[in-house]
Structure 1
């Protein structure tokens, strides 16, 4: 089975659903999209059993052949190809497996949406681009997938760009318009902030090509060992790659787009936060381990960016009221854990937490979506409470997700988070203290989320039709059940030696990435585990005590946490406000000079306006241009042939 089929199948679904939507009435488009992702998952499973210690590569075609780097430089052939090793196989299984469950859930969740078929086309496109990203055998091809998931996130975050109300209902027009503007702004914000990260990725690629003459990942790994290179240039290249990873994974300082991504439908939140886009930065650093191992300064930056982001996300989540934003800031924090691990060269620990996080975070987001549906699109946790009586199944699986993310034995987060804290203890005591504190805060804000939503009495506004919450249908509960089982049992894939296991996951992944040797005594590991578990238990008990006192709606840090430590305000004052001031001043100056400034700009833009007539955005115009161009080329060669014959 060729590797290109893995991204091709969902890409085919995207093309069919976008170009021929009328062939898929009702829910058939959702089933087609889900079936193609399932088929990719099954193909990935079949390839998984053929894994060897040697990476398997498949080249589709040569791209930019025989590139020479300067005079006498090395010649490099850049190909379009895919690689299959333990890391890409794991990422593929996560993307297609969890992605399939989210697709199935979405069939019910989005069933009444007017753009149902288009939504699934975008989901398929998202999955396809993410598969290209993790399967690529070179950085440029990885960048193609990188940009693809950025485009898909823009389309899905802003999917409800016109709001969700009934367009014919005049009473909801203002609310729909406000919601649509907010959703569009969130999509633009994600797109723009990711472009900053993408610039870093590109600059990193340019430096690597200048230093080593290739951007093929396997060739780079070989040349790092054999070619003399400037260490400072390598450090700078890795720092640029870090900028790319920071943008895609929502780390400080480019983190504010990720909570705003909640503007998209809840399945989008689950897909972005659990199985696809935000894991791309962690994957980039892990795949580039042979570079970061030789760049200690850049690696330290990765670790500290992760540690500080983990703390920022946890503090911001403490006093949020939106049921999804609490989870969004939690994602920011958990990604910080992963960055901290890979920055400390504990790559297997970081990737293992990526795996367990995909399970419990997808579970929590989809459970939140079921709650939002049950209470008629309400998202304020202060308007919930006591929902366990109305939604017993969703309550149980949500509790499993909370226990998993809080690091309570035997749930998966206990094993993966413990491995990261142990790596931090070995390498950097300050990062260990931050990680342990974040574990305490995580358990508190997730306990707060649980108690405000599920315990106590129902606080919903009966006047707004919220009086009768209901359990979700089987299409939504079935994926929740599967994810709950994975969130509960997934940690047993990597039981440490001191608990009677053999680090099976570490052994598996060590065939693709370096494995850090553990030098901690068993007694110390027991102590570290006890401290981590104590942090989780204390955090949950703290939330329970606040629940009994009725003070959970005013969490620690109060308004500072609600406003996410005012980071958005800082950006607005430093960037947005000055830009608006300059624009306003130019507008006043234009009016005072009788439009002189405007006329200059219009004259400067006039040549570009000619090209806009050609780049109209209409596919039929492009088709005519292609037809005329082809006819012109054929005519030219025909005349040349005739002339030569004469």
Structure 2
């Protein structure tokens, strides 16, 4: 089965929906978009079941005669790493599409929303299937463009069709905020893209090729480029990964990206775009294995970002923003793992995170939908009685992300912490602290939303089957997904890690069983203590504001810092240039007006009346005759 079918189906869906959207009224547009992604999921599943080794398909020549008569061809490459990513993208993407059929019902641009979702999935598939870095960059930029369209989808607000003054004003304000969030994501990602491009340029200079299979085949010969050159190109690629995955210091766009519709938040924050940085580093493991300095940078960026995201999530009030900062933190875990060369551990957490974070976002969307767009957790509470199904699946997501046995996050997070303990004790301690904070802020999220008495003013209700069905599937995956990779000391064979080892290195832990048990108990204790702390504060009715209140609510003032250092000087320079431009325009306009004034005098004679022209000719003749007469009289005298 050809690989190009994977991105082809969602691309066809995109073309149909964006070009002939008016022909697909009502839910039909959502059905077509969902079927397109579901078809890609079936193709991915069949390819994985028949995958005996890497498959490389060359489609056509792209850049001929790049150097030394070599050609850069457009090709797709499927190994076990890209196969896992394709299953995640198409599987989770299908569930989110189905969920959106009901969630987006009534939106005036319903069909266009599914067109953008299809385009996003297609570009993400091109990114992970690319056989070369330039083609990966095409997908990289494609998902950046799609995320811009989806984050700012409600650029005119959700109530744009309302005519009432107050509603219209609120809608306009929301639209401005959404547009700003989309621009912020687009611009900050361009900063990271510069690093990706510089890394590609340096790689081509060093090796003469950008085709991934060719680079992997060189093996130890890659080291001939020199340690400093390899470190530099890996650091450049890290900048690109930081931008796309919202890591420090380019992290502030990711929490604001939840301005888009909730299905967009689930798609971007859970399983696709934000994991592209983790995929890039894992795909380029053959270089990072030769660059210990750059790898250490990856690990520390991940560790510090995990801590930053956890602290920022502690005192947020927006039901989705808490989850958005949680995504920042969990991505930090993944970066920490791949930076320590524990690629399979990082990819395992990428998989389980796709399950439980998509579940949590979609459950939050069900709450928002039921509360008529209310997103403040202080206006919620007691929803377990009114939305019992959404409550149960949300509880599964909270237990999974908190690392409680038997839920999936327990297995994947424990694997990362064990790797960190083995290689870098300070990072292990940071990871353990983040596990405690994660359980605490997710416990706070759970108790504020689901327990106690209802504090809002809407009339919440359970969602329909179209929304609940994807939630049920994701809850099952979040609960049981960890059993794909049971560690050896628990009697498992680490099946997923060994399966992935054909594509990325697999480093088995060399610790005593008693030590592994101790580390597991410590990780579980951190999760239990975090949830217990949230419960005790909830019982004392002191859970709305917790320690580090202002620091957390303002996300360690990182946005304010950027505004002071970059935005204000830029606005000042722009204002000065604007004044200068206005001055130049005024000068040029004044010159033009003066010249025009002279010409304007002569327009009095251009009246279009023949009598006026005759009188003018007569007067002119009189003047000339008079002049010559005076001159003749002067000559006689």
The TM-score, its normalising length taken from structure 2, stands at 0.91
2:432 to 422, 429, 436: 436
TM-superposed deviation, 1:584? 2.5
Q: 1:516 to 1:111 in 2, by over 3 A?
A: same
* Alpha-carbon shift at residue 66 of structure 1 (Å): 3.0
CA shift for structure 1 position 62: 1.6
Residue 219 (structure 1) aligned with residue 214 (structure 2):
yes
Match of 1:59, SS? strand
Name the structure 2 match of 1:93: 87
Aligned to 2:538: 547
Q: Using the alignment, how far apart are the partners of 2:581 and 2:467 within structure 1?
A: 56
Question: Paired residue for 1:132?
Answer: 126
Which string of whole-angstrom CA distances, capped at 9 and with x for unpartnered residues, describes residues 615-639 of structure 1? xxxxxxxxxxxxxxxxxxxxxxxxx
1:43-442 mapped onto 2 (5 Å cutoff): 43-52=43-52, 54-68=53-67, 75-165=69-159, 166-226=161-221, 228-442=224-438
What per-residue deviation string (whole Å, max 9, x for no partner) do you get for residues 34-53 of structure 1? Answer: 0111111011111111112x
Q: Which residue number in structure 2 is paired with residue 11 of structure 1? A: 11
Mapping of residues 471-510 of structure 1, within 5 Å: 471-510=462-501
1:94 & 1:493 partners in 2: Cα distance? 14
- Structure 1: distance between partners of 2:386 and 2:554: 32
**Structure 1 counterpart of 2:38:** 38
Cα pair 1:271 1:362 within 8 Å, conserved: yes
| RMSD across aligned positions (CA) | 1.4
Would you identify which runs of 4 or more consecutive aligned residues in structure 1 move more than 4 Å? 588-594, 596-600
Shift of 1:371: 0.2
Preserved CA contact (<8 Å) 1:319 1:553: yes
Aligned partners of 1:75 and 1:213 also within 8 Å: no
Q: Contact between 1:212 and 1:223, CA under 8 Å: does it hold in 2? A: no
CA separation in 2, counterparts of 1:29 and 1:131?
21
Equivalent pairs, count: 589
CA contact (8 A) 1:590 1:597 kept: no
SS at structure 2 position matched to 1:80: strand
Gaps of 5+ in 1: 69-73, 601-646
**Structure 1 residues 219 and 179 mapped into 2: Cα distance closer, same or farther (>3 Å)?**
same
Q: Give 2:609's aligned residue.
A: none
Structure 1 residues 137, 469: closer, same or farther in 2, change over 3 A?
same
**Bigger radius of gyration, 1 or 2?**
2
CA–CA separation in structure 1 for the residues paired with 2:413 and 2:394: 19
Deviation digits for residues 75-133 of structure 1 (CA, Å, limit 9, x no counterpart) = 53211111111111100000000000000000000011000000000000000000000
Q: Tell me, in whole angstroms, the C-alpha distance in 1 between the residues paired with 2:588 and 2:532.
A: 64
Superposition deviation, residue 230 in structure 1? 2.3
Per the normalisation by structure 1, the TM-score is 0.90
Deviation at 1:585, TM superposition (A): 3.1
Which consecutive residues of structure 2, in runs of 5 or more, have no partner in the other structure? 592-637
What is the alpha-carbon distance in structure 2 between the residues aligned to residue 590 and residue 598 of structure 1?
Answer: 12
Cα distance in 2 for residues equivalent to 1:209 and 1:145: 19
- The CA distance in 2 between the partners of 1:513 and 1:44, in whole Å, is 20
Post-superposition offset of 1:587: 3.7
2: CA distance, partners of 1:590 / 1:308:
44
CA distance in 1, matches of 2:306, 2:255: 14
What does the per-residue CA deviation read over 1:540-576, in whole Å, with 9 as the maximum and x for residues that have no partner? 0000001011111112200110111110000000000
Q: Who is 1:624 aligned against? A: none
Give me the whole-angstrom Cα distance separating, in 2, the residues matched to 1:568 and 1:544: 31
